[in-house]
Amino acid sequence: MGVEEEMSQQLDQAIFTEINEIISRAQLNAEMVNLIKSALNADNKTGELFPWANLTLLSCECVSGIPEVALPGAIAMELFALAADIFDDIQDQDNDNLPWRKLANANAINLAICLLMLSYETVSNIPDNGHFREIITILNRTGISAIDGQFQEFQYDSRDQITLEQYFELVKQKSGSLTSCACKIGAMLGGGSEALVWELDQFGENLGIMCQIRNDLNDFLDFEKKKDFLNNTKTLPYVYLLSILQRQPERFKELIQLQGKGLHKFGNEERDYLKQIAIDEGVAHYCKVMYEVFRQKALEIIMAIPVPEKGKEKMIKLVEESV
Amino acid sequence: MSYDSIAELVNKLVKNPKSMVSQEHEIHSSKLKSNELSIIQNVFSKYEVSGDTLTIKVLPLAEWA
């Protein structure tokens, strides 16, 4: 095992231990404790544990901060993002395989609220009063922005069409705000200057938009996992098709008819036809181009940050991989 | 950034990949920035998107959305 890998495992262990202590101090009943433990890292396809805490710690490392100092902020971020994820799945009624989706909605909501409260409980462990207030403010503003975005997304579901500009504005609010929050908390607890915190905030925002584009494309035809298209959710592939097919009235009509079929009438034939439209019109090309646009923005920001190269290596690695 | 201009150009190029050269001449009158055009060129030349490919596989990115 390399030194980097060993350090990463040690940090994961520190996160795990700290979360256990927080849960233990809260004196929750055993069922809730088990639920929280099964929810943590449940939505993890890459094998990387505690992605939100680790992003926060990477940002801290980037400004030459001490990971242990940023640990309460990192754990608060992990719990906060998990709560947001659960609320999102309850509202969208998808990702049925995840543990919180196997609960009655009322108890899934209880779990999410509990995680949110534990997140704030963790922030209160930050010894520096100034940092404590700043982190609380960042989390609150992020939550407000993400909820406003979520509200807007549901409003858009009832519309026939939205513009690409509206889509990207929404994604910035919904997904960009959470990743920028993690980066900002890490940079702040790492002792970064106001300018550095701002740069990492912008880096995080672009990273979040990249992730949302990737998810939107990868999930577009995954009807077992997501029902976005049938719910009229305005994902990037769908918004692109609605926009580009304005000049092809016949195909536009076909797309709208497919969308209106509903879950029970949307069989293999309809899936194949939607896939064909997506291929013919360049859905994957457009998503890859936009992914690249935001990837390059993120890369430019992180490359230009005036910190030692060693500190930002891992952040660069996050966005240097190409499509 | 003009999202619509990028979408229009991508759609044109998917229908006719050989039209990239003529699109370059149109760049002055379009709302596209030069880096956006080079990204489009790069995606079309370097990353060949086959008919069945509809995913972005970028493993290092964790679930941050």
Report the predicted TM-score, pTM, of the whole model to 2 decimal places: 0.91
From B47, B54, B62, residue closest to A221, measured CB to CB: B54
By C-alpha distance, the chain B residue nearest A207 is: B64
Q: Which residues of B touch A238 (CB under 8 A)?
A: none
Q: Determine whether the interchain pair A240/B7 forms a contact, defined as Cβ–Cβ distance below 8 Å.
A: yes
Which CATH number is A290's domain given?
A: 1.10.600.10
A166, amino acid identity = Q
Q: Write down the domain spans for chain B.
A: 1-65
Q: pLDDT value at position A259?
A: 92
- Tell me how many residue pairs between chain A and chain B have CB atoms under 8 A apart: 128
Cα separation, A95 vs A102, in Å, equals 10
Name the amino acid, one letter, at A60. Answer: C
CA distance A81 to A75: 10
Scan for tokens 């970064």, then name that residue.
A192
Q: What percent of chain B has pLDDT over 70?
A: 54
Given pLDDT bands bounded at 50, 70 and 90, which one contains residue B12?
very high
Task: Give the per-residue pLDDT at B34.
Answer: 81
Residues of chain B with C-beta less than 8 angstroms from the C-beta of A280 = 14
Quote the CA–CA distance of A47 and A208 in Å, as a whole number.
19
Closest C-alpha to A320, from B40, A52, A53, A300: A300
Provide the shortest C-alpha distance from residue A323 to chain B (in Å).
Answer: 6
pLDDT at B18: 73
Please give chain A's pLDDT, 323 residues, in tens: 677 778 888 888 999 999 999 999 999 999 999 999 999 988 777 777 899 999 999 999 999 999 999 999 999 999 999 999 999 999 988 888 999 999 999 999 999 999 999 999 999 989 999 999 999 999 999 999 999 999 999 999 999 999 999 999 999 999 999 999 999 999 999 999 999 999 999 999 999 999 999 999 988 988 887 889 999 999 999 999 999 999 999 999 999 999 998 878 888 899 999 999 999 999 999 999 999 999 999 999 999 999 999 889 999 999 986 54
User: What is each CA distance from A191 to A59, A118, A145, A197, in whole angstroms?
Assistant: 11, 24, 25, 9
> A43, B7: Cβ pair inside 8 Å?
no
CA distance B47 to chain A (A): 7
CA–CA gap between residue A142 and residue A145 (Å, rounded): 5
What confidence tier does B28 reach under pLDDT thresholds 50, 70, 90?
Answer: very low
Q: Taking a C-beta distance cutoff of 8 angstroms, is the pair A172, A206 a contact?
A: no
Residues of B in contact with A210 (CB under 8 A): 61
Domain membership of residue A203 as a residue range: 3-320
How far A237 CA lies from chain B's nearest CA (Å)? 10
In chain B, where does DSSP find H-type helix? 3-15, 20-26, 34-46
Nearest-angstrom CA–CA distance, A81 and A178 = 7
Measured between alpha carbons, how far is residue A266 from residues A34, A154, A242 in Å? 37, 22, 19
Quick one: pLDDT at residue A135? Answer: 97
Query: CB count, 10 Å around CB of A182?
Result: 33
H, E, C per residue of chain A = CCHHHHHHHHHHHHHHHHHHHHHHHHCCCHHHHHHHHHHCCCCCCCCCCCHHHHHHHHHHHHCCCCHHHHHHHHHHHHHHHHHHHHHHHHHHCCCCCCHHHHCCHHHHHHHHHHHHHHHHHHHCCCCCHHHHHHHHHHHHHHHHHHHHHHHHHHHHHCCCCCCHHHHHHHHHHHHHHHHHHHHHHHHHHCCCCHHHHHHHHHHHHHHHHHHHHHHHHHHCCCCCCCCCCCCCCCCHHHHHHHHHHHHCHHHHHHHHHHHCCCHHHCCHHHHHHHHHHHHHHCHHHHHHHHHHHHHHHHHHHHHHCCCCHHHHHHHHHHHHCCC
Domain count, chain A: 1
Whether B62 and A46 lie within 8 Å, measured CB to CB: yes
> Taking the alpha carbons of A62, A204, A226, A147 in that order, is the dihedral positive or negative?
positive
Taking Cα atoms as reference points, which of A291, A294, A93 lies closest to residue A203? Answer: A294
Chain A CB within 8 Å of residue B61 CB: yes
B43 contacts A285? CB cut-off 8 A? yes
Chain B residues with CB-CB distance to A51 below 8 A: 62-64
